[in-house]
A and B are shown apart, each in its own frame.
Chain A
């Protein structure tokens, strides 16, 4: 069964058509990555499936439910969570409050979730009383992922978690994603410019070029494709 299904989705902002008929599928238990250059529409795709902006045409479904026209906050109550582009930490809330607000939608007692996130990212535990805006980039990324995990989502959406981070921290974050997937069966849709690492991590991948999917396949297949190597791996 498909967990997430985008069927011929178009979307954009104003006059800009950022997605021109995109179809992708994510199955339960998978890590799927979406790679593409800056401005290809990767972030728009993640935001569109969260209802902001709304898809102009096509159909989006999550676990068999049509969510194309659902308001954003209702979509996010269905069991998916996003660590968005730019991390969007609440700067004037403490680390702890940032995490607690992630659990609010689920409505259950946040204490066990908080402990779990602190176990995954011990650094957040050390900094829990600190304001979100004072964290380093890597810590903010951990917080963004931790906040998304607080609602115990079945599908985690990650938007460029490696952006602007030191290689060591990128490896640590990618290891964490792999572990969450293997140990807890968390399904992940990962948007990345860092194609090399993303394709090594993912089961399957899609290549997005100016709003259209141009290639699809397993991570290893895509890594081996010369077009992919040339376009996305040249500099790495």
Chain B
């Protein structure tokens, strides 16, 4: 019981990170119908920007308290958003109106470019970071087993919920959100209403990258080690989460992220750590075969 509770806590914290990345996949898919395979690497760039900012603040001796974490978050979001914007601008926009596979191939290329760029610029070795938010509190004790919530896990959950709340408000309540949904549902009509759809698509990439950078920073703080390659696995898992939740559905992405986090954690706890990725990707295969629209997705209606 206590063991399971501990896994639940770990799984939710991990799932939040996947959920944040998955939102970026699902948003871009919804609006331009492509899978942005470079998105995982945007997450990785976010983690690196956070790391660099933290190291700078540490060397300045001002890496203290929640204010500093907010500052790192803000810097990471802004810089990573710029990367997201650039990727769309140079690699996808010129291919709009080209055949369907073209931006997909371009995305894979962009993923390789980002990985190699970070590898060259930051070195290939694993980058460690001492715990910024150490400690935690005990939820319950059962025999010798102590159920712990680390402060970091709490930070991850709270920051993610806050970011998702702002994001949900943006999409459902603002004029920008309306424009984004209009582009998603009928881009040509959105243009006929005077909406600059290229700009809306750019903003979508910017927001997706900002969310991924939050995930990148949380990953860095939670695990304390990153390298240029973390984006691949995290990206594919978040993509699985997006598919599980129903690609194109924003609540689905968060739900899928949580489920993947929980499945991975529980599988590691009760079966085998070595096979946890197999479990995740088995789910991707099963969902694609038996439930291609995912949990909250809609059946794709062919537009005329």
A residues at B contact (CB < 8 Å): 50, 52, 71-74, 76-77, 81-82, 84, 86, 88, 90-93, 97, 100-102, 104-105, 147, 151
| A126 CB → nearest B CB, Å | 22
Q: Provide the main secondary structure of the chain B interface.
A: helix
| A12 CB → nearest B CB, Å | 16
| B227 CB → nearest A CB, Å | 41
Whether B191 lies near A101 (C-beta < 8 A) is no
In this complex, which of A73, A81, A82, A84 has the most chain B Cβ atoms within 10 angstroms of its Cβ? A73
Name which residue of chain A comes closest to B188, CB basis. A52
B residues at A contact (CB < 8 Å): 175, 178-179, 181-182, 185-186, 188-197, 304
Whether B196 lies near A101 (C-beta < 8 A) is no
Whether B185 lies near A73 (C-beta < 8 A) is no
CA distance A147 to B178 in the complex (A): 14
Residues of A with C-beta under 8 A to B193:
76, 81, 101-102, 104-105, 147, 151
Whether A101 lies near B185 (C-beta < 8 A) is no
Name which residue of chain A comes closest to B172, CB basis. A97
Name which residue of chain A comes closest to B176, CB basis. A104
| A90 CB → nearest B CB, Å | 5
A-B interface, 7 closest residue pairs, ranked by CB to CB distance from nearest: A105-B194, A76-B194, A88-B189, A72-B191, A90-B185, A77-B194, A73-B196
| A74 CB → nearest B CB, Å | 8
| A98 CB → nearest B CB, Å | 9
Whether A93 lies near B181 (C-beta < 8 A) is yes
Residues of B with C-beta under 8 A to A92:
181, 185
Name which residue of chain A comes closest to B197, CB basis. A73
The residue from A71, A74, A88 contacting B186, defined by CB atoms under 8 A apart: A88
CA distance A90 to B184 in the complex (A): 9
24 contacts between A and B (CB under 8 A): A52-B188, A52-B192, A72-B192, A74-B194, A76-B192, A76-B193, A82-B192, A84-B189, A90-B185, A97-B181, A100-B175, A100-B178, A101-B179, A101-B182, A101-B193, A101-B195, A102-B193, A104-B175, A104-B178, A104-B179, A105-B194, A105-B195, A147-B193, A151-B193
